[in-house]
Structure 1
């Protein structure tokens, strides 16, 4: 029987949770924000360092691939790690490694070494992302997941939004070394947060021992696959398609604003900020909407993104882009949050790491393909037609897969179990 993911509407609401549990939620949220901020700030610093060293476009492309490919390639491994090993051990070990990598970037500055270290930094994020995503349900229970995931996602998006600007400012004032050392401190703070969170997934060897006993008794569960749940499969495919469309326009927008409309650099910067402006309120809105199921909200978020892209392509003037970009940002932020809620609610805790690793792989594959397609589009058509095609593609993908998302009763994902979480 499918898990009901409709937002609670009764007066009683979700059961009360202790203050210490919500303290863990806020610590987790801060850790996610620092982790994303540190990773993106380091990538920004290295990109500027490569440019200052006279590296060409191939070096920058290699850096972008170093940031996106490891989570895709490592997703089967990272998901299994998150489902088998103590969450505190993983957070502390990986966070410490990432801090050391940032320090190493200040010592060895050749382009090849910097790109290799960037790949290692991204690999670390691939290991921690499934753990961070799996913890809210274990900390506060599935009834309180909407609020906990909204808090966690809001801080994560705040880190993503703030990191490039802060990194650029610090690099302009102090050079590359100081920002990278600050990044190292941010990862050290993640390590401290991992030690402070009392809730632990798969503490000690309990989970592995239980699995071994099941295997010896001949009662082991069938291997978990995200693709065995048609609902989650539809969500991941749709997420990848829409995120690819959003990434295509990231390549096109500078040419659309500057060349098609002849607008200034300041106008371009304002338009880019508009999408970012919508991310955080979009994530916060999800837990405020009580009338609709999370599946319906998810479809609405994809619709917002598709309409925003298509509307931008139809814009008669440059300032018409602003409201569409705010709408797209709101949809993007809400989509990220509600996807995390659904994975926490639908996937059992023993397999949740693999589900979040699959989400991480999709979240990196979609943009990578989008960047490549966006560059190719400019070689044979104008930016406006590229926007129109991307918007229509996103809406077509929504039309094809929306039924699989909304038909929640077809899904057979078991309800989350909290037995593996130790407090």
Structure 2
């Protein structure tokens, strides 16, 4: 396997970590703020570093490709069964391995070379994509096969995600972490918009098997980009665990680490509050069918689902307006409170266009929150714990919206859709302000 190279940007990991600690990436001082309008748009300084540029380019390719499979699997299951319930069962079939392997994968990311972990897991994801293509091309029409493949793919993704996310702090200086997180998050959100639209356009023309095949080919590009990364072994001798196998005791150590580091704990709690109480996507179909029905149910539903990621992408493109902020804890608090206010405004909107506007504003707030929560995880955790922190982060991101679906669906049936949305938004804002008042160190936190 390829090891660290000697070009200016491919700095050996330990040196990179030292540079990150001082903000002197590649031995050069960070450039001054950009003049004029450029200070408002996305900060692309992290792309000057070749290793990060390779990691980011791999994310760019798979952000769209993975969404093709994300659309194709439920479509194929629905075509086979004619039941939305089976689509839901398949979603939960993928949740358990995602949670389990994200937590375990976080330990692996802290114990062995993260580049190796990404290579192995990307191969696993690519193989499952090829198997998705093979079963669809052969016309198996087996829901059981689809659910097994989905569970396997989510397991590989769960192991891949902590290693990928925890590597960022080793590839860019500390001062550029918010900008790097904004670049990664913007690409992911853009894929959530372009991927489904592209899938919808390609299914009638090329069919489902081709969508799986495109995703598999995209993953080959990812493998090449990861192969070209420098080695990313544990920086501390203790991180290797003294030859002991990674186990669930190490996962428990990660949770204990969170519990004893208030800044990390508060960043997770803020995200849980926002996602569990303030993600009303389960109510979008009901609102589209009743409250916004005059605009056309299908049209309204599409706009509601697209509004948050569109706002997030807009926030990412204009991330120069906030990515240089130093009060990271305060930025998280402000963003989550803004999310709660925006969701409340969405619930009070009788007009579809106001509803979309409030959801788009919520997307901007979500991008700000993602940027600074991600940066806090990278900067407040030591390198030997970053993998486990990213594993827990993956679980929160994956599990929070699913809990929100259950909570909002139940509340919508009891209170009505709009009342449930408003109650959730108010609860987010009030709970976050209470959290900020209870833990002053979080709102004062700077890296």
Aligned-residue offset at 1:48? 0.5
Q: Could you tell me how far apart the structure 2 residues matched to 1:183 and 1:298 are?
A: 34
Asked if residue 244 in structure 1 is aligned to residue 276 in structure 2, the reply is yes
Contact 1:66 1:122 in 2 (8 A): no
Contact 1:34 1:190 in 2 (8 A): yes
Partner of 2:260: 228
Contact 2:63 2:187 in 1 (8 A): no
- 1:322-374 Cα deviation digits (max 9, x unpaired): 22011011011221122111111111111100011111111112111111123
Contact 1:295 1:406 in 2 (8 A): no
Q: How does 1:69-108 map to 2 (within 5 A)?
A: 69-108=96-135
Q: Could you tell me how far apart the structure 2 residues matched to 1:22 and 1:375 are?
A: 45
- Gaps of at least 5 residues in structure 1 are 1-7, 215-221, 416-423
Asked if residue 153 in structure 1 is aligned to residue 185 in structure 2, the reply is yes
Partner of 2:171: 139
Is the alpha carbon distance of 1:169 and 1:122 closer, same or farther for their aligned partners in structure 2, counting shifts above 3 Å?
Answer: same
Q: How does 1:13-412 map to 2 (within 5 A)?
A: 14=30, 22-108=49-135, 109-198=141-230, 200-202=232-234, 207=237, 211-212=241-242, 223-224=253-254, 225-247=257-279, 249-262=280-293, 263-264=295-296, 265-289=298-322, 290-291=324-325, 293-403=327-437, 406-408=440-442
TM-score normalized by the length of structure 1:
0.84
Is the alpha carbon distance of 1:258 and 1:158 closer, same or farther for their aligned partners in structure 2, counting shifts above 3 Å?
Answer: same
- Gaps of at least 5 residues in structure 2 are 1-22, 33-43, 136-140, 245-251
Q: Could you tell me how far apart the structure 2 residues matched to 1:291 and 1:333 are?
A: 14
Greater relative contact order structure (CA < 8 Å, 6+ sep): 1
User: Which consecutive segments of 4 or more residues in structure 1 shift more than 4 A?
Assistant: 15-21, 206-211, 284-287
TM-score normalized by the length of structure 2:
0.80
Q: Could you tell me how far apart the structure 1 residues matched to 2:45 and 2:346 are?
A: 46
Is the alpha carbon distance of 1:405 and 1:356 closer, same or farther for their aligned partners in structure 2, counting shifts above 3 Å?
Answer: farther
Is the alpha carbon distance of 1:63 and 1:373 closer, same or farther for their aligned partners in structure 2, counting shifts above 3 Å?
Answer: same
Q: RMSD over aligned Cα, in angstroms?
A: 3.0
Q: How many residues in Structure 1 have an aligned counterpart in Structure 2?
A: 394
Contact 1:15 1:143 in 2 (8 A): no
